[in-house]
């Protein structure tokens, strides 16, 4: 594979090659998403988890037939 000093030499030569290419190096960002975006994603995930938990608890409590009838009645009431 590599001798003990070769790896360091390879890394140093790659850095020198990058500097010689004239490509300006830009600093890497810590995070792509802003903290505000992250908060909205966490809030959306929490709301979705709450809706799923409510749905499963209704299904467990009322049973499948009553659950689907409740959902169907809600759609009819909303969309006519």
pLDDT of residue 31: 59
**What predicted TM-score, i.e. pTM, was given to this entire model?**
0.45
CA atoms of 42 and 72, how far apart (whole Å):
30
pLDDT in tens, 6-51: 555 566 666 665 565 555 556 655 656 677 778 888 999 999 999 9
pLDDT of residue 58: 83
């Amino acid at each position: 594979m590599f001798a003990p000093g070769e790896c360091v030499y390879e890394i140093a030569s790659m850095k020198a090659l990058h500097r010689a290419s004239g490509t300006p190096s830009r600093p890497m960002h810590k995070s792509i998403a802003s903290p505000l975006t992250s908060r909205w994603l966490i809030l959306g995930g929490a709301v979705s988890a709450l809706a799923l938990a409510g749905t499963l608890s209704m299904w467990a409590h009322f049973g499948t037939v009553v659950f689907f009838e409740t959902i169907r009645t809600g759609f009819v009431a909303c969309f006519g």
